[in-house]
């Protein structure tokens, strides 16, 4: 805990204090957090922020307010660490109501400030004691964890034998001091976007029939979910496959798992699984399987065109699928496969994609 407080002091508090002491206008600098500033880190093979930076200076009212709010958040984090407390991001937003000029206008603003402090300090939100409001996603399959309980003791949990049909709920922090990965007899991990598809695969016994681990991403996956996928991939040597709807937003779900999300590019090496493979619904699937579809909305079209410029999607596969989707002007959900019956996805579609292509033997 002392290390976190010291880093905050060095990177944020002392910076501002020194500038004021020397009669200078304080400022804070951090990498520009947008698509144009993400570059491939060839060491980790993930997308991270590049060299472009932005500076928030107290020369402007907006800059001064940004620095002030960052100081309030830093002080709040220090107080939590000192008292061995944690806080949800939502709680921090409401606590700021008592900060006077440091009050946030929205939770998006307070969340972004916490993320900026991550970037500036090269620490994680979890190091600050900040956590999301909701519980994590679910895991079911033959993998054994040891989770630390409230008494500080580690309890063994097998995600096939010791959980119900809903699976094991991923905690907000999955680092080794809270969650140990002990063993797995599985051959692969299948991460999927929707709860309905997760339930379908569990009900059909897909994990047991094919010796896999199923992970429900709950839409755009939480950081803890992505971190656990990476740990299982690296520590248990399990390949990761991602099964999503066929639309631009689902493509971005895969991108966040495999390449790193633009919003959290500063910690992509902790979260992204560069070897993850996409086996979700594609534009080609819509045509091949004659799937029920919806027409692309204007927002969908805008998102697809944006992805054609996104450096994470500059492969022949992605360019071809995105251009095909724009051409046919259609999108489809995972559940569209139910056109051929409730068992089709587990008996035909997924086995074909996982096994027939040689991805798994």
Which of the residues are catalytic? 94
E strand residue ranges, the chain: 27-31, 38-41, 46-49, 53-57, 87-88, 130-131, 138-140, 143-148, 154-158, 168-169, 179-184, 188-192, 212-216, 240-243, 277-278, 294-295, 330-331
DSSP 93-157: HHHGGGSGGG--SSHHHHHHHHHHHHHHHT--HHHHTEE-SS---EEESSEEEEEE-TTS-EEEE
Instruction: Look up tokens 């999108």; give the residue.
Output: 331
* Alpha-carbon gap, residue 20 to 39, rounded angstroms: 35
User: Closest by alpha carbon to 270, among 283, 279, 253, 257?
Assistant: 257
The answer to whether the CB of 193 falls within 8 A of the CB of 279 is: no
What DSSP state is assigned to residue 246?
B
The answer to whether the CB of 32 falls within 8 A of the CB of 1 is: no
**Which two tokens mark 257?**
């798992």
**Which two tokens mark 85?**
């407390």
Question: What end-to-end distance do the CA atoms of the chain give, in Å?
Answer: 46
The H helix count followed by the E strand count for the chain is 16, 17
Angle at 47 between CA 46 and CA 51, to 5 degrees: 130
Beta bridge partners of 48: 39
């Amino acid at each position: 805990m002392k290390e976190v407080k010291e880093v905050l002091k060095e990177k944020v508090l002392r910076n501002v204090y020194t500038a004021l002491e020397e009669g200078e206008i304080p400022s804070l600098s951090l990498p520009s957090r947008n698509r144009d500033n993400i570059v491939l880190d060839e060491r980790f093979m993930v997308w991270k922020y590049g060299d472009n930076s932005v500076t928030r200076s107290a020369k402007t009212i907006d800059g001064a307010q940004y620095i002030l709010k960052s100081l309030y958040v830093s002080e709040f984090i220090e107080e939590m660490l000192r008292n061995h407390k944690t806080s949800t991001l939502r709680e921090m937003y409401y606590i700021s109501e008592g900060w006077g000029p440091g009050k946030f206008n929205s939770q998006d603003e307070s969340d972004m400030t916490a993320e900026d402090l991550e970037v500036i300090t090269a620490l994680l939100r979890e190091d600050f004691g900040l956590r999301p409001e909701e519980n994590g996603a679910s895991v079911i399959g033959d993998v054994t964890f040891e989770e630390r309980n409230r008494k500080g003791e580690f309890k063994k949990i097998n995600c096939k034998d010791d959980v119900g049909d809903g699976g094991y709920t991923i905690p907000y922090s999955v680092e080794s001091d809270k969650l140990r990965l002990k063993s797995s007899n599985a051959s692969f991990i299948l991460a999927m976007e929707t709860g309905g598809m997760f339930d379908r695969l569990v009900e059909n016994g897909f994990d047991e029939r094919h010796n896999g681990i199923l992970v429900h991403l709950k839409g755009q996956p939480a950081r803890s979910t992505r971190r656990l996928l990476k740990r299982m991939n690296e520590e248990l040597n399990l390949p990761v496959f991602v099964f999503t709807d066929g639309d631009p937003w689902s493509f971005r779900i895969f991108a966040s798992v495999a390449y790193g999300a633009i919003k959290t590019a500063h910690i992509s090496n902790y979260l992204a699984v560069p070897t993850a493979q996409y086996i979700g619904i594609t534009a080609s699937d819509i045509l091949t399987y004659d799937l029920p579809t919806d027409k692309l909305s204007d927002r969908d079209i805008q998102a697809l065109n944006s992805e054609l410029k996104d450096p994470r999607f500059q492969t022949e596969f992605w360019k071809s699928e995105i251009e095909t989707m724009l051409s046919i002007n259609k999108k489809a959900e995972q559940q569209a496969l139910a056109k051929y019956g409730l068992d089709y996805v587990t008996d035909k579609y997924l086995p074909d994609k996982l096994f027939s292509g040689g991805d798994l033997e």
